[in-house]
Amino acid sequence: MRRIGAVALRELRSYFSTPVAYVFIVIFVAMSSALTFYVGGFLQRREATLEPFFMFHPWLYLLLIPAVSMRLWAEERKTGTIELLLTAPLTTAEAVVGKFLAAFAFVAVALAATLPMWVTVNILGSPDNGVIAGSYAGSLLMAGAFLAIGSCMSALTRNQVIAFILAATVCFLFTMSGLDLVLDAVRAVFPPVFADVVASLSFLSHFGSITKGVIELRDGVFFLSMIVFWLFATTVAVDLGKAR
Amino acid sequence: MRRGGKDESGLATDFPAITVRREAPVDAEATRKSFNEMSEMIVLDRLTKRFGALTAVDAVTMRVAKGEVLGFLGPNGAGKTTTMRMIAGFFEPTSGSAAVCGFDVVHAPIEVKRRIGYLPEGAPLYGDMRCDAFLEFAASIRGFSGAERRRRIDRVVEMVELGEVLARSIETLSKGFKRRVALAQALLHDPDVLILDEPTDGLDPNQKFHVREMIKAMAPTKAIVVSTHILEEVEAVCTRAAIIARGRLVADGTADSLLARLPHHNHIVVGVPQAEAPQAAALLRTLAAEDVAAAGGDVDGVATFSIAVDAIDGGLPAVAHHLKASGVTIERLYLERGRLDDVFRNLTLGADGEARP
Ligand SMILES: Nc1ncnc2c1ncn2[C@@H]1O[C@H](COP(=O)(O)OP(=O)(O)OP(=O)(O)O)[C@@H](O)[C@H]1O
Ligand SMILES: [Mg+2]
What DSSP line would sit under B317-356, residue for residue? HHHHHHHHHTT---SEEEEE---HHHHHHHHH--TT----
pLDDT the model gives residue B18 = 44
Q: Which residue has the higher pLDDT, B256 or A24?
A: A24
Ligand 1 and B56: CB distance under 6 A: yes
Tell whether ipTM is more than 0.90: no
Question: Which of B89, B118, B128 lies at the smallest CB-CB distance from A17?
Answer: B128
- pLDDT, residue A11, reads 94
Q: What is the spatial distance between Cα A155 and Cα B11, in angstroms, rounded to a whole number?
A: 10
**Burial class of B259 by CB neighbour count within 10 A (0 to 12, 13 to 18, 19+):** buried
Q: Do residues B49 and B93 make contact, with C-beta atoms less than 8 angstroms apart?
A: yes
Q: Give the distance from CA B103 to its chain's centroid.
A: 23
Which residue is closest to B188 within chain A, CA to CA? A88
Say yes or no for a CB contact (<8 Å) between A81 and B124: yes
CA-nearest residue, atom 8 of ligand 1: B2
| Banded model confidence at residue B3, pLDDT cuts 50, 70, 90 | very low
Is the Cβ pair B127, A242 closer than 8 Å? Answer: no
- C-alpha to C-alpha distance for A156 and A240, rounded to whole angstroms: 9
Residue B29 pLDDT class (50, 70, 90 cuts): low
Q: Exposed, middle or buried: residue B350 (CB in 10 Å: 0-12, 13-18, 19+)?
A: exposed
Q: In angstroms, how far apart are the furthest CA atoms of chain B?
A: 81
The whole-model pTM stands at 0.84
d(CA B224, CA B215): 8
Q: What is the pLDDT of residue B194?
A: 95
Is A19's Cβ below 8 Å from some Cβ in B?
Answer: no
Tell me which chain A residues have a C-beta less than 8 angstroms from the C-beta of B113. 87-90
Please give the helix or strand (H or E) that residue B51 lies within, else none. strand B42-51
Mean pLDDT within B123-132: 93
User: Could B120 and A83 be called an inter-chain contact, meaning their C-beta atoms sit closer than 8 Å?
Assistant: yes
Average pLDDT over residues B198-227: 90
Cβ atoms A80, B81 nearer than 8 A = no
User: Which residues from chain A sit within 8 angstroms of residue B194, using beta carbons?
Assistant: none
CA B131 to chain centre: 28
Q: Which of B85, B113, B145 sits opposite A88 (nearest CB)?
A: B113
Q: Do A158 and B9 touch (CB under 8 A)?
A: yes
Among A115-129, B110-124, B219-233, the least confident range? A115-129
Which of B158, B156, B148, B198 has its CA nearest to residue B176?
B198
Q: β-strands B223-227, B193-197: how paired?
A: parallel
Over residues B130-188, the pLDDT tens digits come to 999 999 999 999 999 899 999 999 999 998 889 899 999 999 999 889 999 999 999 99
Among protein residues, the one whose CA lies closest to atom 22 of ligand 1: B81
Percent of chain A with pLDDT strictly greater than 70: 95
Give the pLDDT means over successive 10-residue stretches in chain A (244 positions): 90 88 90 79 68 83 92 93 94 95 95 88 82 87 94 94 93 80 75 75 76 75 92 95 74
Nearest chain A CA: its distance from B342 CA (Å): 34
Which backbone phi and psi does B61 adopt, to 5 degrees? -120, 120
Q: Across the strands, what pairs with B194?
A: B117, B224
Q: Which of B4, B128, B145 sits opposite A244 (nearest CB)?
A: B4
- Residues of B in Cβ contact (< 8 Å) with A158: 8-9
Q: A169 at the B interface (CB within 8 A)?
A: no
- pLDDT tens digits for range B71-103: 999 999 999 999 999 999 999 999 999 999 999
CA-CA-CA-CA torsion sign (A224, A228, A229, A231): positive
A223 contact partners, CB below 8 Å, separation of at least 6: A138, A141, A142, A144, A145, A203, A206
**pLDDT value, residue B57:** 94
